[in-house]
Structure 1
């Protein structure tokens, strides 16, 4: 009882094309979010601190060590 796999349809499969003008704003937004996250994990303490206190530092403390950023 041998069975062979056959495609569900034998027509041409075409992938949707996303125009660069539609993709670019989302790529910029994602890049800015990544840079902001990198700042908070890697540099939000001491002289470069945007927020007073240690709340942000303590919130991202374990992530900071996981990514190799020294903090103490």
Structure 2
């Protein structure tokens, strides 16, 4: 019994070409991401005591485990 190779009718696979995004289009999103990161860092790292903007312990308790995971002391 002879084995024949598959036919060459299969089209070659080509990848999609990357789209160039100008830096001016990325800058607002980068600034927005930086702002969100700084806000999150504030609430996880400093929202208690003398620097507290929100009274009470609700924010502290909400981010309590995240504080310990990131190495911020809180007790």
Relative to the length of structure 1, the TM-score reads: 0.83
Cα distance in 1 between the residues matched to 2:12 and 2:19: 20
Q: Rg bigger for which structure?
A: 2
Runs of 4+ in 1 over 2 A off after TM superposition: none
Matched residues, number: 68
| Root-mean-square deviation (Å) | 2.3
Q: Structure 1: give runs of 5+ residues left out of the alignment.
A: none
Cα distance in 1 between the residues matched to 2:53 and 2:29: 26
Q: Structure 2: give runs of 5+ residues left out of the alignment.
A: 4-10
Partner of 1:69: 72
